[in-house]
Amino acid sequence: MALLSVLESVSYTRKDGQYLRWDYRSGRKQGKKRFDKGHIPMFESAIRAKLTEILDDIQPAITQLSLFPSETTQEGTLHLRHGSCLEGLPTFPNSEFDLVITSPPYCNRYDYTRTYALELALLGVDEKGLSSLRQTMLSCTVENRVKDLIALNSAWVEAITVANQQPLLQAILRYLDEQKKENLLNNTGIPRMVRGYFYEMACVIQECARVLKSGGQLLMVNDNVRYAGAGISVDIILSAMAEVLGFQVKQILVLPNGKGNSSQQMGEHGREELRKCVYLWQKL
């Protein structure tokens, strides 16, 4: 964990958006403007500093007050599972959990396999592995191909039906398809990505409702997005589908500072602040 945490700082790279920028000292071909990331620490000093930070977090010099004070201390068992939620969630039993907290990929073309290419390379993931990982994760990039969701789980007919009948989602998909036909999209894969994202998220929501106990809660962090000048209310669409799939929407908390648009969106369609939200849903 410590090694992965310092990997970027001791490398000739820096994360820039969803890509890695290479420092001029790397010996790799540079763009028009030379990039200098500044001081690059030696590995030993960087790993020592990170390990010290971790120890300070585990054993702070000042005793921290408990967020939930009680006479008894309860400890749970942690299980770290590796794999796609689309494959993992169906393996959990019904009505097993009290709480789900999740921050899924956003519908924003952000490719996490590029962002964490350095860490994935250290873990031995090659180009073929990156491509496979990109396809198994939730559809959030224009490189994602269409998934056969029914083949993955025949029980998801319900979720797909809910997505098919969601009026705002279907209006957005029709709009994006029309923009594609008129060659007004900067990438023809956008309609496929947006469609895949919401249909896959509908399946995830169905699974979360299944594995939660009655009265259990789901907390989700997500952002709204914008394509071809049209703001997509991800919070409204997902919450509307959740209400059909077994949840009651308790709150949609909007962060005080919204998200901006890409320079291309602002240049063509003007600026429109997009909501950054936390959803609180309760299982019926």
Q: Is residue 72 part of a domain?
A: no
Q: Is residue 264 part of a domain?
A: yes
Whether 122 and 28 share a structural domain: no
Whether 206 and 279 share a structural domain: yes
Cross-strand pairs, 97? 212
What string of H, E and C letters represents the secondary structure of the chain? CHHHHHCCCCCCEEEECCEEEECHHHCCCCCCCCCCCCCCCCHHHHHHHHHHHHHHHHCCCCCCCCCCCCCCCCCCCCCCCCCCHHHHHHHCCCCCEEEEEECCCCCCCCCHHHHCHHHHHHCCCCHHHHHHHHHHCCCCCCCCCCCCHHHHCHHHHHHHHHHHCCHHHHHHHHHHHHHHHCCCCCCCCHHHHHHHHHHHHHHHHHHHHHHEEEEEEEEEEEECEEECCEEECHHHHHHHHHHHCCEEEEEEEECCCCECCCHHHHHHHCCCCECEEEEEEEEC
Whether 41 and 173 share a structural domain: no
CA distance 156 to 1: 36
Whether 53 and 89 share a structural domain: no
CA distance 88 to 136: 12
pLDDT of amino acid 266: 57
Whether 31 and 161 share a structural domain: no
Whether 47 and 169 share a structural domain: no
Q: Is residue 93 part of a domain?
A: yes
Low-confidence residues in the chain, pLDDT < 70 = 64, 67-73, 259-271
pTM of the model: 0.88
Residue 122, CA atoms < 13 Å, CB-side half-sphere: 11
Whether 142 and 263 share a structural domain: yes
pLDDT of amino acid 16: 86
Whether 104 and 25 share a structural domain: no
Q: Is residue 35 part of a domain?
A: yes
Whether 188 and 237 share a structural domain: yes
Structural domain span for residue 48: 2-58
pLDDT of amino acid 257: 82
Whether 44 and 149 share a structural domain: no
Q: Is residue 74 part of a domain?
A: no
What's the domain count of the chain?
A: 2
Q: Is residue 182 part of a domain?
A: yes
